Amino acid sequence: MATPQMTNLVSGVWSEKVLVVTQDYEIKGFVFMPKTGKRNRVLSDILNGTKRFVAIKDCEIVHRQNPNRNTEYHNFLQLNLNSIIILRPAGDEE
């Protein structure tokens, strides 16, 4: 059974499916932001915020430098914002 704290945690955030491209990886997963402000600002808030890392959940990681390497799957990772080349919303078909 969900506690009030769990309900507030879940209902107090937005999630966005994203594609992140770095020099070495393409990462698909979900980022989460508190429900403060407008939803369409979630990704720009991540990139322009004071934190230097972004948390990504339910990740699929493809190695760009070695495409024959197996795709990795992780429940969670933290990515340094300085390594991001592109961060964009990912469609459901991606």
* pLDDT tens-digit map of 13-66: 778 899 999 999 999 999 987 776 665 566 887 788 888 999 999 999 999 999
d(CA 8, CA 52): 25
Q: For residue 4, is it within any domain?
A: no
Phi, psi of 37 (to 5 degrees): 95, -160
45 found inside a domain? yes
Contact 64, 72 (CB under 8 A): no
94 lies in a domain?
no
Domain that holds residue 85: 11-89
Which residue stretches of 12-70 are H helix?
42-48
CATH number for the domain that contains residue 29: 2.30.30.100
pTM of structure: 0.77
Please tell me the total count of domains within the chain. 1
Kindly give, in sequence order, each residue whose CB lies less than 8 Å from that of residue 8, ignoring residues fewer than 6 positions away. none
